Amino acid sequence: MNEPPIASDIHRNSATLPDPIWNAGHEAMLNMAAAHALAFRRSVDKRKQWPEKSFAEMRDVFARDLPAKGCDGAAVIDELVRLSADGLSAMTGPRFFGWVIGASHPVGVAADWLTSAWGQNTGSHTATPSAAACEEVAAGWLLDLLQLPSKCSVGFVTGATIANFTCLAAARGEVLRRTGWDVEAQGLFGAPPVDVLIGDDAHTSVFSALQFLGLGNNRVIRIATDYMGRMQVAAFKFAIAGCSGPIIAIAQAGQINTGACDPMSEIADIAHRHDAWLHIDGAFGLWARACPEVASLAAGCELADSWATDGHKWLQTPYDCGYAIVRDAEAHRRAMTITASYLPAVAEGERNPSYFVPELSRRARGFATWAMIRALGREGIAEMVGRHCRIARRMANALAAEPGIAVMNEVALNQVAVRFGADLPLERGDELTAAVIDRLQADGTCLAGGAKWKGCWIMRLSVISWPTTEADADRSVEAIIQAWRAVR
């Protein structure tokens, strides 16, 4: 199976009224889709990292009027493959360091195909016992891997953004409940004001979550951070002492530019002395805890009240997959549950997947999570995380040895913040850094994005794709140095 078949190769029945319901045309179409998927994945190591065509060009490629009549499914899939080809990037490849994202591991993809084919609406555990049981077991494995209390509840959501939302909804409900206010029933109108403390270098998605929750993305107390983006304990202590109402404190495990983790033990101790709910955004950084080599970097995270993390980053599940983890399962459930007479009741001790997420109808994300953990095992996950951190240090050391290149962070986890023309005036360094990023993008050997960090433009390398090896890192460093020498 090298060249994927095209639709006209496929024997087909009528697309609208298939007879029998499941027919040879469907089988051929799914096999064709699989062949195209394999062809794409085979090509990833060789293709350019960045899409051949821009968004504007791809819009033209896809543009056509709403079709009045349907057509054969195989032809549709064929067309989709043809139209999409030039607008795909090599995110699943070994040298895509562009964002802190995973690389859709084949095992996760296979489990995800089955998830779609089985088509289980995971809104109820009685209707989809396999999905619900698999998810429950995967939830237990996650808590074990991340070394969090085994009694925590886990919601399988779309990603860390909605995991932050879900956890902060539980936080909002609980801190207000302690004052006698029922936010689930009464909303925020007339509620005692909630103080939200958050580090100055928190991820933008946490501010989105606050926005969705009526807590405001700007009505927060921002805590000063250090050069690695970590909250300063003294500033946190001072700010929380000035709060009078219910408090939610938000810390971070894994800053997107530096990989740094807030000083959790101290933050947790102070937060709890003020009866605050401590939430941690640990989209990728929480996974340090799954690797003995680097677990100490995220020490103290277990002291929080809730945690948001991703499956589609370090665990390498396909999109989309994140986890909302809450110590107080009742608070979690109160924040997310609505019941209806037509939905099956939940017996004591049973876990209904929809009780811990915002959605009712949803994808069975537990399958891909289960499959990834089953395939890699505790040791495989630890090996992968440890390898990524070692590769990040290797890249940082090699880059820093080149005149004019500076590494702006202490590389302990998987993030490297690189600055070009570091000895030059700010604006010139920004220009050169942007130019290196552009040149690298055109070259296509590897991909790294740009970001603003502490007032200056940096190139950010995120080592977090399962296939990345030392050889990939060396090849990429070489390409980056060549790009730098060319623009300097």
Ligand X SMILES: *Cc1c(COP(=O)(O)O)cnc(C)c1O
Nearer of residues 203 and 419 to ligand X, judged by Cβ = 203
- Tell the smallest beta-carbon distance from residue 321 to ligand X (Å): 8
| Tokens read off for 410 | 């202490």
Distance linking the first and last C-alpha atoms of the chain: 47
Measured CA to CA in angstroms, residue 437 lies from 112, 422, 456 at distances of 34, 15, 14
Residue 417 contacts residue 453 (beta carbons within 8 Å): yes
Amino acid type, 370: W
- Tell the smallest beta-carbon distance from residue 272 to ligand X (Å): 23
What is the CA angle 147-148-153, rounded to 5?
140
- Tell the smallest beta-carbon distance from residue 439 to ligand X (Å): 26
DSSP strands (E only) in 399-448: 405-407, 415-420
Nearer of residues 78 and 262 to ligand X, judged by Cβ = 262
- Tell the smallest beta-carbon distance from residue 412 to ligand X (Å): 16
Q: Is the peptide bond before 430 cis (omega within 30 degrees of 0)?
A: no
Nearer of residues 252 and 433 to ligand X, judged by Cβ = 252
Residue 156 contacts residue 326 (beta carbons within 8 Å): no
SS3 260: coil
| Tokens read off for 250 | 């938000």
C-alpha–C-alpha distance, residues 388 and 368, integer Å = 22
- Tell the smallest beta-carbon distance from residue 284 to ligand X (Å): 5
- Tell the smallest beta-carbon distance from residue 190 to ligand X (Å): 31
C-alpha–C-alpha distance, residues 254 and 21, integer Å = 49
Residue in the block written with tokens 């979690």: 332
C-alpha–C-alpha distance, residues 260 and 19, integer Å = 58
C-alpha–C-alpha distance, residues 268 and 287, integer Å = 19
Name the residues that contact ligand X, by CB under 6 A: 100, 159-161, 203, 205, 254, 256, 281, 283-284, 310, 322
Nearer of residues 95 and 279 to ligand X, judged by Cβ = 279
C-alpha–C-alpha distance, residues 295 and 358, integer Å = 31
Nearer of residues 251 and 483 to ligand X, judged by Cβ = 251
Residue in the block written with tokens 């101790």: 269
Listed residue (462, 447, 454, 440) closest to 408, CA to CA = 454
Residue 429 contacts residue 456 (beta carbons within 8 Å): yes
- Tell the smallest beta-carbon distance from residue 208 to ligand X (Å): 9
Nearer of residues 256 and 413 to ligand X, judged by Cβ = 256
| Tokens read off for 81 | 């493959």
- Tell the smallest beta-carbon distance from residue 25 to ligand X (Å): 37
| Residue least distant from ligand X (Cβ) | 159
Measured CA to CA in angstroms, residue 484 lies from 213, 273, 400, 478 at distances of 44, 50, 12, 10
- Tell the smallest beta-carbon distance from residue 98 to ligand X (Å): 12
Nearer of residues 204 and 361 to ligand X, judged by Cβ = 204
Measured CA to CA in angstroms, residue 112 lies from 70, 175, 363 at distances of 27, 37, 10
Nearer of residues 236 and 284 to ligand X, judged by Cβ = 284
Listed residue (316, 319, 197, 315) closest to 246, CA to CA = 197
What is the CA angle 236-238-243, rounded to 5?
90
- Tell the smallest beta-carbon distance from residue 165 to ligand X (Å): 9
C-alpha–C-alpha distance, residues 418 and 326, integer Å = 36
Nearer of residues 33 and 145 to ligand X, judged by Cβ = 145
Nearer of residues 99 and 113 to ligand X, judged by Cβ = 99
| Tokens read off for 44 | 């990833």
Nearer of residues 100 and 325 to ligand X, judged by Cβ = 100
Nearer of residues 334 and 460 to ligand X, judged by Cβ = 460
- Tell the smallest beta-carbon distance from residue 410 to ligand X (Å): 18
- Tell the smallest beta-carbon distance from residue 254 to ligand X (Å): 5
| Tokens read off for 22 | 């499941």
Residue 463 contacts residue 473 (beta carbons within 8 Å): yes
